[in-house]
Amino acid sequence: MARIKGYPEALETKLRDRYMYGEDAHPEFTDTVEKISMTIPHMCYQCGTCTASCPSAPRSSYRIRKFVRRALLGLETEALTDPDLWLCTTCYSCTDRCPRDIAPTDVIMAMRNLAFKRDIIPVNFLKTVQAIYTTGHGVPNNDVNRAARVKLGMDADPPTTHTYKEFIPGIQKILDYYKLKANADRIVKEREG
Amino acid sequence: MAERKTKKETASTKGTTAAVKKQAPAKAAIGEQPEAKKEARVGVFICHCGTNIAGSMDITAVQDYAKTIPNVAYVDNYKYMCSMPGQAVINKAIADNKLTGVVVAACSPRLHEPTFRTATKEGGLNPFRFEMANIREQNSWVHMHDQEGATEKAKDAIRIAVAKATLLEDLFPKSVPVEKAAMVVGAGIAGMQAALDLANAGIKTYLIEKTPTIGGRMSQLDKTFPTLDCSQCILTPKMVDVGRSENIELMTYSEVESVEGYIGNFDVTIRKKARGVLSMEEGEAMGIVGGGCNGCGDCEAVCPVVLPNTFEEGMKPRKAIYIQHPQVVPLLYTIDFESCIKCDLCVKICGEKKAIDLNQKDEFVKVKVGTAILATGYDMFPVENKTEWGYKRFENVITSLEFERLICASGPTGGHMVRPSDGVAPKRVAFLLCAGSRDNTGNGKPYCSRFCCMYSLKHAHQLIEKMPGVQPYIFYMDIRSFGKMYEEFYYRIQDEGAKFIRGRVSNILEDPVSKNLMVFADDTLLDRPMKLEVDLVVLAAAVQPAADTNRTRKLFGVSCSMDGWLLEAHPKLNPCGTTTAGVFLAGVCQGPKDIPDTVASAEGAASAASIPIHVGHVELEPYFAQCIDEKCAGCGMCVNLCPYSALALVEKDGRKVMQVTEAKCKGCGTCGGFCPGGAIWMNHFATPQIIAQIDAFLLGGEQ
């Protein structure tokens, strides 16, 4: 940020223009989010049941109520560029309790999809994509887990792609169809070289 | 079975003679279409309704088209057809053009049919020679963005209306006498107020109450907002008035069993449930001198059966023979036969008064009334269904009605506000507003229950006043303090120290040891999620229609809206009336209301219900069925089909034919559509008229 009045940077940030202008709102963003999420954020009356239910909110700056508000007002850039977007654990507690029968979790998921289209996504999410591509699991089995499973009398690997590796190409085909792996690889390379 | 009848023969005879005179000319016309075939001359009048209609269609095109419709003798349009000049246009055109029928293309007949009927009548025609084409609600409003389509649809609507107007006949409304008595169902504050108003207007009123005492929900309350009057103190004088009024016949522990008849002449059967106790009057009637229940309570003391008292929300015990609270009207004990073990102890202690009859059976009483008011009230929404708040799982989560009983000096704790788990006075109390209201999940109520904001403010005030040092927290979404002096009350409570947190509580957890409660909410104004430890949680639960509302409304033929509240005739302009003539609504059964609104609504209903009684007769729309005797084969199959029991088989000229009791007939057309011989003529909706309408639509105007 340009130092117009010569204040220290922290103060400059605090004094920045905070008006919400009419042109910030994009009604088509509301429509798109509703179409992808198949839920109705425009009906939100901001009671806060979602944030109060949220396991992430008490330990982070993530406020799902704010994201639903942004969806309602069509504040596209503000919603998609906020790193908090990626702090939802998708536990669906808010969806269970919302008195307006909105599915706030699905609003978040829709926004994440839209953000990804603009290459806005944390790298750890992309690594998950890569893990799924190679193993079929977002969190692949590891030696500690295998030992625990054996100890509990189960097979070392679960009856998934870990046991039936011949199904991995099927998963890869799906990810390739949506160019998810290619995009993930590209973005990771751009960020990490 | 006791027969009761009010003596009001004078009014009845007057009404009947009037009826006979008015109706005389109608009969000759059945089944013929005399003048219509000769030369029908229909006038068409198109209303702009400002831009409501004219803004969505081409009025000139519609008018030009209307001129080409067969039998149309005159076409005109006007900005507001319902205005005085608009009506004058109709008036003048009828005389100038010798019209035989009038078509007004405007709004819904539900709004202006009476207006244009009057205009038709003033023009010198029979008012039933008028037909309305709805080109607003069913056209311009729904096709606002389709000018061409709307114009074409209006042409169709007018062509169809003209086809019917061509065949319309003179009809004469029927007048029936009105019984000078009324019935009020439910004796809460609404029913009591309505009954008192009717009684004070000189009308004999039957007040039916299903529980053993009158008073309803209001008698359960401690204080009333915003004036903080003691609820019982302002209610009991009215209860006493009801008990003493000569014009009110109070029937407690009674239910409406069946309703027959129509406005002016409802025959109502009432089930007087066996209460096992004789009143002093009943005792006297049975020849027991000085007998009957005097409310001494000796029986209650000896009764061995203990049950929860529903009046105290189950927080106080009662016996199988009981009164709900000390101020009941009538002061008369009641036996709960479902739990009575018939040990006879009460009979013995009652002794010479002989007030108790353990073998009493339900009794049926028949009364005749002219009009009826439903005031069936509300129940609390079972808020335990919202499992996240833990009602009935956590001891210290209570409802507002339980709070009312706990803080009430005559309540189970003598007015000492304690929490249920340990009987200790709470220090921090959370009030949860909209507990089940404004909830669209299906598990809850979509509407605002309307008085919870205000009574929760009152609860906070009562805590602060009674127990200095207590901190009330009010979790709200919006505070709806809309009434007179309500906003000022809100200001006062905030000033007294209640903390308002704008956020809905997501869930509550209980500390298993201390039984304290963790309340989770989002302080949306601070944008911080919060976890608050409190000693007591009060849920301002939603309200819903009383349990038997659906049964009662069906008996009286009243509709309900999607959420179960009884449906008024018009939400703004006829909030006390229903679509069934002679049946009115008072109080919360029509939708949530606080006490002032309930009383206002009750007085409105009483006023509306007294009008037909004071007039002495009512005019019924002449839309009844008529039997064409020559065509009737006397099969009698229609008789059982009639939902209003209006039809009967009678002997006429040596053979059986059907006869219609015109006042009972609602013109539904069930019999007319069914009759295999085509012998039933539905006035104003006759088969030839309907066929002409269908033809006009299908043939697109080609005859």
Residues B586-630 have pLDDT tens digits of 999 999 999 999 999 999 999 999 999 999 999 888 988 999 999
Could you tell me the pLDDT band of residue B579, with boundaries at 50, 70 and 90? confident
Contacts of A97 in chain B (CB under 8 A): 388, 506-507
Does B25 have pLDDT greater than 50? Answer: no
Stretch B501-523: mean pLDDT:
97
pLDDT one-digit tens code per residue, A91-146 = 999 999 999 999 999 999 999 999 999 999 999 999 999 999 999 999 999 999 99
Give the orientation angle of helix B231-244 with respect to helix B189-200, to 10 degrees. Answer: 40
Does A2 have pLDDT greater than 80? Answer: no
Nearest beta carbon to residue B506 from set A43, A49, A63: A49
Does B642 have pLDDT greater than 90? Answer: no
Nearest beta carbon to residue B506 from set A52, A66, A100: A52
Contacts of A46 in chain B (CB under 8 A): 524
B551-to-B44, B542, B556 alpha-carbon distances in Å: 46, 22, 9
8 Å CB contact between B617 and B14: yes
8 Å CB contact between B560 and B570: no
Q: Do B505 and A52 touch (CB under 8 A)?
A: yes
**Residues with Cβ within 8 Å of residue B178, at least 6 apart in sequence:** B11, B15, B263, B264, B265, B370, B371, B612, B613, B615, B616, B617, B618
B173-to-A114, B73, B225, B472, B569 alpha-carbon distances in Å: 67, 28, 49, 62, 21
Stretch B274-298: mean pLDDT:
90
Q: Which one has a higher pLDDT value, B2 or B287?
A: B287
Q: Of A1-5, A148-152, B310-314, where does mean pLDDT reach its minimum?
A: A1-5
pLDDT value of residue A193: 78
Residue B523: phi and psi, rounded to 5, are -75, 95
Could you tell me the pLDDT band of residue B37, with boundaries at 50, 70 and 90? low
The percent of residues above 70 in pLDDT, for chain A, comes to 97
B578-to-B236, B415, B570 alpha-carbon distances in Å: 30, 42, 8
Nearest beta carbon to residue A97 from set B477, B506, B527: B506
- Calculate how close chain A gets to B522, using CA atoms only, in Å: 5
Q: Do A99 and B444 touch (CB under 8 A)?
A: yes
Contacts of A101 in chain B (CB under 8 A): 440-442
Rounded distance between C-alpha atoms, residue B58 and residue B66, angstroms: 12
- Please give the biggest Cα pair distance in chain B: 93
Strand partners, B655: B652
List, in sequence order, the alpha helices (H) in B68-170.
Answer: 84-97, 109-122, 147-167
pLDDT value of residue B5: 43
User: Domains in chain B, ordered, with CATH?
Assistant: 2-21+621-690 (3.30.70.20), 40-170 (3.40.50), 181-272+365-377+559-615 (3.50.50.60), 280-361 (no CATH), 380-544 (3.50.50.60)
- Calculate how close chain B gets to A52, using CA atoms only, in Å: 5
pLDDT value of residue B664: 79
Instruction: Decide the pairing of beta strands B528-534 and B397-399.
Output: unpaired
Q: Which one has a higher pLDDT value, B70 or B110?
A: B70
List the structure tokens of B241.
């008035």
Amino acid at B653: D
Q: Of B7-16, B391-400, B469-478, where does mean pLDDT reach its minimum?
A: B7-16
Does B35 have pLDDT greater than 90? Answer: no
Contacts of A99 in chain B (CB under 8 A): 434, 438-441, 444, 504
Does B2 have pLDDT greater than 90? Answer: no
pLDDT value of residue A5: 64
Contacts of A48 in chain B (CB under 8 A): 502-504, 506, 521-524, 529
pLDDT value of residue B439: 96
pLDDT one-digit tens code per residue, B210-240 = 999 999 999 999 999 999 999 999 999 999 9
pTM of the model: 0.84
The shares of helix, strand and coil residues in chain B, as percent rounded to the nearest 5, are 35, 25, 40
Could you tell me the pLDDT band of residue B253, with boundaries at 50, 70 and 90? very high
CATH topology of domain A20-117: Fumarate Reductase Iron-sulfur Protein; Chain B, domain 2 (1.10.1060)
Q: Do B504 and A100 touch (CB under 8 A)?
A: no
pLDDT value of residue B262: 86
CA nearest B290: which of B280, B277, B282? Answer: B280
Q: Start-end ranges of CATH 1.10.1060 in chain A?
A: 20-117
CA nearest B446: which of B589, B568, B547, B542? Answer: B542
Rounded distance between C-alpha atoms, residue B133 and residue B154, angstroms: 8
User: Which ipTM score applies to this complex?
Assistant: 0.86
Rounded distance between C-alpha atoms, residue B250 and residue B484, angstroms: 33
The percent of residues above 90 in pLDDT, for chain B, comes to 84
B523 → chain A, closest CA residue: A48
Q: Is B498 exposed, middle or buried (0-12, 13-18, 19+ CB in 10 A)?
A: buried
- Calculate how close chain A gets to B565, using CA atoms only, in Å: 21
Q: Of B281-285, B368-372, B541-545, where does mean pLDDT reach its minimum?
A: B281-285
Could you tell me the pLDDT band of residue B41, with boundaries at 50, 70 and 90? very high
B385: contact with A, CB 8 A cutoff: no
pLDDT value of residue B39: 84
Rounded distance between C-alpha atoms, residue A67 and residue A82, angstroms: 9
pLDDT value of residue B27: 43
**Residues with Cβ within 8 Å of residue B393, at least 6 apart in sequence:** B384, B387, B510
